[in-house]
A and B are shown apart, each in its own frame.
Chain A
Amino acid sequence: MSSQKKVNSWARKRTSQGSSSYQTRLSASRVKEDLNDSKSISKRGQNNTVEDYEGADDQAEDALQIALRYFEKGPIKTSQSKEKHLKTVENVAWKNGLAPEGIDILLSVALSGKFGSAVNTRIFKCMIPVTLISEDSVVKAVSWLCAGKCSGSTKVLFYRWLVAMFDFIDHKEQINLLYGFFFASLQDDALCPYVCHLLYLLTKKENVKPFRVRKLLDLQAKMGMQPHLQALLSLYKFFVPTLISVSLPMRKKIYFKNSENLWKTALLALRSRNQGFPSEPLKLMLANVHPIKRNWNSHSVIPVLNSCNYSKESRKKRMNLSDYFSSNGSFPLEQLKSFPQLLQNIHCLELPSQMGAVLNSSLLLHYINCVRDESVLLRLYHWLSQTLQEECIWYKVNNYDRGKEFANFLDTILRAECFLQEGFYSCEAFLYKSLPLWDGLCCRSQFLQLVSWIPFSSFSDVKPLLFDHLSRLFFTSSIFFKCSVLHCLKELLQNWLLWLSMEIHVKSVRNSPLETTLGGSMNSVSELIYYVGWLSTTAVRLESNHTFLLHFILDFYEKVCDIYINYNLPLVVVFPPGVFYPALLSLDSSILNQLCYIMDRYHKNLTAAKKNEFVHKTKSEFSFSSKTYQEFNQYLTAMVGCLWTSRPFQKGLSIDPEILGNASVAEYKKSLNLVHHPAFLSYTVSFLLQECPEEKKVNMSSIRGKKWNGYLDYLFSEGFHGLKNFIRSSIHRSSVP
């Protein structure tokens, strides 16, 4: 036992001093501490050494620490806790992988023979690194092999593990120094195939020595033509052909049985983790559960950027010398690094063999944006629409475990759309197919963003395909979902407006006869706005005037009211009464302020439109109907009547005075003005208290005349800029009540 301890601490010392790979994981101070005091190793177990790599669930981390410490100490006669700790380690390992130090500890435990071989086997199966394995752990493990504490089967498992994890060992120099040791292990018949595989991976030219060749040939004579021996021999022959004169069969066989398959799924996740793709938690999978497609194209959904390899090959053949000197040579994509390069070579750019690859390259997106070749766009269209359907997690059943991957894919597409400021047609087609099946939860933010990037089109065409399905979801979902939808529709409106304003600008320069189509597009936009108005009116009722919802609705109308001035498009659509009145009667002052702002902007837009009409004299096609002005004036009257003149709802409101009396609001006229409006009540009170702080009772009616102006200034100073603008533009201050 004592010798074992010695080895143990020696190895630990080395680990703590020599390793550099995982020190980066530890906080700097702790590294220092460890380096200075190698005795602190025993403390390290308690010190949460296996750093919490993501800072995520600390609890699992703690359980892992306890488990590791348990294994380190050796078996205690309570098998129950052993099972529990094993489970803990397995869970963490399969979910996130183990930090280098965890592997270091477990490797020693498994090879020291403290536990039975059943436990060792389980430990080996779950020894999956987070990213890398420290070389020193492996060297230490080899020293354990020399101690002869573990069974033959454990040794086999160790070699298999080593072969499987070979690529994840941070350095291999020291392991290579042990070449002789490994080579000597070839003698063991059971180990021979696996050691061969390891040597196959490890061998460098300087390892090939005549005595080793002799030994291999001896072994071959003894054991017959074994594929693994042949593999090693052919590698030796490749390095030093003069040493081996025997002829090796040319026929290729599979040299090594796939010894890594115990960890296959783990390795896949590990690789994608190392490449920076976030990975799903692993499941122990015996059968290949993934859909067929998974096997086809390695890890990522988006193809790698390759210039057209086939055409290159064929061109090479046909090219003669003069072609090389001519300037028509194409520019390979792999060399494309900067925007100026793109500009210089845009006429002779070699396009990627798979157009989907452009999603990952901003330079090529520039290219896509200005390319006139329809086939480029068609290739992208086909690839994207098929990939979206294939990857979509609710389009096919049983696909839900790959949600994160799909969300990432959508994010990439959205980045590209945002970069181009234009939606892809394939995404629109995908929405047609998938929106009716959507539950409103999966990848919500991405999916709604896709909606907001629908290319401009005739609203009535798209409505039955998209917006009818969307409204069904809208009405049956939570208020949060409603707000998200309203937000995405606002973005959609903005994208359409930007696109159209650009189109019209181009049109007016070129003077092409597009008048009628412009009318059509304005129609489409106004239909979108009416649709949102309808959604909003119903939603306000469903959610009983919820302030949060009203904010999102008014946000939408902030865009709508400014179309004429901001986008230079001949369109003004006023909001429906179902939005206006709930906002006017809202209990929230910021809503009222927002409403004032919108009314002010409507006022400015309509005035500007009217002015333009006078200037041009000729009645253009897009003069607004008097109905729009009437609607607006009605709202304006109502608002001024409520907030300012205390004569609300002069027209159209007829309530029996008796009812008002019963409700004890017989004197209702003043109750909605700036002083008494429930939204401003708290401001009124604090304004009055400011004036005479000792007052126990405040007299609200005292605010009139000069004091009214003071009160207004107080409100403006509190940040009600919308109100300020509204009063400035719509009310003549002489009429102070």
Chain B
Amino acid sequence: MDSYDTPELTPRQDASSRLKDFFIGATPLQKRLESVRKQTSFIPTPQRRKIPQGSQLQEDVDPQKFAFLLHKQWTLYSLTPLYKFSYTNFKEYSKLLNAFIAAEKQKGLAVEVGDDFNIKVIFSILMGVKGTQRDPEAFLVQILSESQLPSEHKEEKVLWTGWFCCVFGDSLLETVSEDFTCLPLFLANGAETNTAIIGTWFQKTFDCYFRPLAINAFNLSWMAAMWTACKMDHYMATTELLWSVPCRPHSLDISYAIHPEDAKALWDSVHKTPGEVTQEEVDLFMDCLYSHFHRHFRIHLSATRLVRVSTSVASAHTDGKIKILCPKYLIGVLVYLTELAIFQIE
């Protein structure tokens, strides 16, 4: 920390326009503050949301292309807009990130000149993972290890995968200037140490900030309702909700598994507005589950904490872990996650 008592006078910004800007709310910063104010003063989340529709991917995109994003556990992060990020520089980014990873991993070890670290970094665009035309393209970063075997047996193993996306991120897009790329949702799969190294590189290179994105019980119950509401051709998994009771020495978990068709039937009985889910319906849906449980076990689940929701569409944990199961609703799940991520960075 250098001292602040430098005698020079600070040149003040020409303030003529500031007062005016202030009241008009013209600068991007003002817009940001405005949106934070709105968000804080009113009810934090919208009262109603759309039920995820079938595949919302653009027509020319093959959903099978994203099969590798499914059935994997992703750790969620929110990410502030990337500064001076360019989709045309992927090659260079790969090289730089590769070097950065090598340098980080070798910390404390002898560094030999010209030693290859046997990893490969690939940046690629996830074409079509977006909600509107305004949403920037999602992109994928993969770390592969190259085996030492002779080239004919060369095998590449995926060590780490991470992807950045923005699905219906309009509210964020409005508040930043063109130097920034808004991809508020980041999902990572692989060793935590790798996530840390790669995240650090992104933070250093694009002046952004990663924060783990936890999902609170309120949002989990929204997920439970919205995903139950999704139309499915066939159900792949039971609907399961997990509550946690904080008690010593070990916390007590209560698992509540429901046949997905029963869950859907319950949902249909509380659901009124077509195509939408409302806060009231979510509350009612959860209350029904609570009272059913109470009738059988005399336990008030509402007094405990919802920590995990798994359905055939996806499963989510309060720690900020998600697994998407149904390709049809990939985008639908991402819409809500993007919303949560944007909420966190505002």
User: In the assembled complex, which residues on chain A have CB atoms less than 8 Å from the CB atom of B205?
Assistant: 309-310, 353
* Distance in angstroms between the alpha carbons of A520 and B23 in the assembled complex: 9
Q: How far is the CA of A360 from the CA of B1 in the complex (A)?
A: 5
- Using Cβ atoms and an 8 Å threshold, which residues of chain B touch A514? 19-20
- The docked-state distance in angstroms from the alpha carbon of A374 to that of B1 is 25
Number of B residues near A (Cβ < 8 Å) is 63
The contact string, 1 if C-beta is below 8 Å from chain B, for chain A 383-423, is: 10111011000000000000000000000100110111100
Among B34-42, B121-129, B254-262, which stretch is in contact with chain A?
A: B34-42
Chain A residues near B18 (CB, 8 Å)?
503
Closest residue of A by beta carbon distance from B84 = A311
Partner pick for B345 among A375, A386, A416, A512, CB 8 A cutoff: A386
A252 near B29 (CB under 8 angstroms)?
no
- In the bound complex, residues from chain A placing their C-beta under 8 Å from that of B19 are 503, 507, 514, 517-518, 521
> Nearest Cβ distance between residue A164 and chain B, in whole angstroms?
12
Pairwise interchain contact A433-B40, C-beta atoms closer than 8 A: yes
Q: CA separation between A638 and B163, bound complex, in Å?
A: 73
Q: A252-B117, A425-B29, A429-B36 are in contact. Are A296 and B210 (CB under 8 A)?
A: yes
A80 contacts chain B at the CB level, 8 A cutoff: no
Interface string of B183-226 (1 = CB under 8 A from A): 00000000011001001100111011111100000000000000
Interface residues of B in 252-273 (CB under 8 A from A): none
* Contact present for A370 and B33 (CB under 8 Å): no
B29 touches A381 (CB 8 A): yes
- List B319-346 residues whose CB lies under 8 Å from chain A: 345-346
A420 to B1, CA, bound (A): 16
A323 to B203, CA, bound (A): 29
- Stretch from B5-13, B228-236, B275-283 at the A interface: B5-13
Q: Is A379 an interface residue (CB 8 A)?
A: yes
B133 at the interface (CB under 8 A from A): no
Q: Find out whether the CB atom of A381 lies under 8 angstroms from the CB atom of B32.
A: yes
**Is B28 among interface residues, defined by CB-CB distance under 8 A?**
yes
Give CA–CA (A420, B4) in the complex, Å: 10
Cβ of B177 under 8 Å from chain A: yes
Residues of chain B contacted by A250 (CB below 8 angstroms):
112, 115
A238/B112 in contact, CB under 8 A: yes
Could you give, for residues 57-85 of chain B, a 1 whenever the CB lies within 8 Å of some chain A CB and a 0 otherwise?
A: 00000000000000000000000110110
B-chain residues with CB within 8 Å of residue A383 when the two chains form the complex: 80, 207, 209
Of the stretches A111-119, A144-152, A457-465, A474-482, the one at the interface is A457-465
Given A251-B148, A386-B80, CB of A419 within 8 Å of CB of B29? no
Contact status of A457 and B22, CB under 8 A, knowing A292-B196, A366-B11, A433-B40: yes
Query: Which residues of A have CB within 8 Å of B81?
Result: 378, 382
- Pick the contact of A510: B1, B16, B22, B83 (CB < 8 A): B16
Question: B117 and A378: CB pair below 8 A?
Answer: no
A520 contact set on B, CB distance < 8 A: 23
Residues of B contacting A313 in the complex (Cβ-Cβ under 8 angstroms): 92, 96
Give the shortest distance, in Å, between A208 (CB) and chain B (any CB).
14
Contact with B along A415-440 (1 / 0, CB 8 A): 11011110001001100110000000
Closest to A337 in B: B2
Question: B1: which A residues are within 8 A, CB to CB?
Answer: 360, 412
Q: How far is the CB of B146 from chain A (nearest CB, A)?
A: 11
Q: Which residue of A lies closest to B13 (CB)?
A: A370
Closest to B83 in A: A379
CB distance from A168 to the nearest CB of B (A): 15
Q: Is B179 an interface residue (CB 8 A)?
A: yes
A374 contacts B6, CB within 8 Å?
no
In angstroms, Cα B15 to Cα A370, docked, is 10
Query: Contact at B20–A362, with CB atoms within 8 Å?
Result: no
Report Cα–Cα, A255/B211, bound state, in Å: 33
Contact across chains for A432 and B40 when beta carbons are under 8 A apart: yes
With a cutoff of 8 Å between Cβ atoms, the chain A residues found around residue B2 in the complex are 360-363
CA distance A236 to B203 in the complex (A): 38
Smallest Cβ-Cβ distance to A390: which chain B residue: B211
A234 lies within 8 A of chain B by Cβ: yes
Any B CB within 8 A of the CB of A7? no
Interface residues of A in 256-302 (CB under 8 A from B): 291-293, 295-297
A263 and B338 alpha carbons, distance in the complex (Å): 41
Residues of B within 8 A of A465 (CB): 37, 40-41
- Which residues of the partner chain B approach A38 to less than 8 Å between Cβ atoms? none
Instruction: Tell me whether A339 is interfacial, beta carbon within 8 Å.
Output: yes
Chain B 280-292 near chain A by CB (<8 Å), digits 1 or 0? 0000000000000
B173 at interface by CB-CB < 8 Å: no
Contact A425 B33 (CB under 8 A): yes
Residue on A nearest B33 in the bound complex, by CB:
A425
- Bound together, the chains give a CA A306 to CA B1 distance in angstroms of 15
Chain A residues contacting B210 (CB-CB under 8 Å) are 296
Q: Which chain A positions have C-beta within 8 A of B109?
A: 252, 254-255
- Please indicate which of the listed interface residues A250, A252, A296, A387 has the most CB atoms of chain B within 10 Å of its own CB: A252
A355 contacts chain B at the CB level, 8 A cutoff: yes
Bound complex: CA of A436 vs CA of B83, how far in Å? 32
Contact A252–B112 (Cβ < 8 Å): yes
- B106 within 8 A of partner (CB): yes
From A250, A365, A412, residue with most partner B Cβ within 10 Å? A250
**Are B23 and A517 within 8 A (Cβ)?**
yes
Q: Taking the complex as formed, is B180 at the interface, i.e. its CB lies under 8 A from any CB of chain A?
A: yes
| CB of B27 closer than 8 Å to a CB of A | yes
Q: Is B110 an interface residue, CB under 8 A from the partner?
A: yes
Min Cβ gap A337→B in Å is: 10
Is there an interface contact between A387 and B209, defined as CB atoms closer than 8 Å? yes
Contacts of A291 in B (CB 8 A): 212
Residues on A with C-beta less than 8 A from B209 are 382-383, 386-387
Residue B251 at the chain A interface, CB threshold 8 Å: no
Q: Choose one: B3, B11, B84, B192; the contact of A362 (CB below 8 Å).
A: B3
| B176 in contact (CB, < 8 A) | yes
Chain A contacts for B204, CB-based, 8 A: 303, 306, 309, 353-354
A238 contact from B30, B110, B200, Cβ within 8 A = B110
Cα A353 to Cα B4 with chains together (Å): 22
**Are B80 and A314 within 8 A (Cβ)?**
no
What 8 pairs across the A-B complex have the smallest Cβ distances?
Answer: A382-B80, A386-B209, A429-B36, A432-B40, A375-B179, A370-B11, A503-B19, A419-B4
Please list 9 pairs of residues, one from A and one from B, whose beta carbons are closer than 8 Å in the complex, sorted by A's number: A200-B110, A238-B112, A296-B199, A296-B210, A339-B6, A370-B10, A383-B80, A418-B4, A432-B40
Given known contacts A375-B83, A418-B4, A465-B37, what 9 new A-B pairs fall within 8 Å (CB)?
A200-B110, A293-B211, A295-B196, A365-B10, A386-B80, A416-B4, A419-B10, A433-B36, A507-B16
Q: Which residues of B contact A (CB under 8 A)?
A: 1-4, 6, 8, 10-16, 18-20, 22-23, 27-30, 32-33, 36-37, 40-41, 80-81, 83-84, 89, 92, 96, 106, 109-110, 112, 115, 117-118, 148, 176-177, 179-180, 192-193, 196, 199-200, 203-205, 207-212, 345-346
Residue numbers of A with Cβ under 8 A of B are 200, 231, 234-235, 238, 250-252, 254-255, 291-293, 295-297, 303, 306, 309-311, 313-314, 339, 353-355, 360-363, 365-366, 369-372, 374-375, 377-379, 381-383, 385-387, 389-390, 412, 415-416, 418-421, 425, 428-429, 432-433, 456-458, 461, 464-465, 502-503, 506-507, 510, 512, 514, 517-518, 520-521
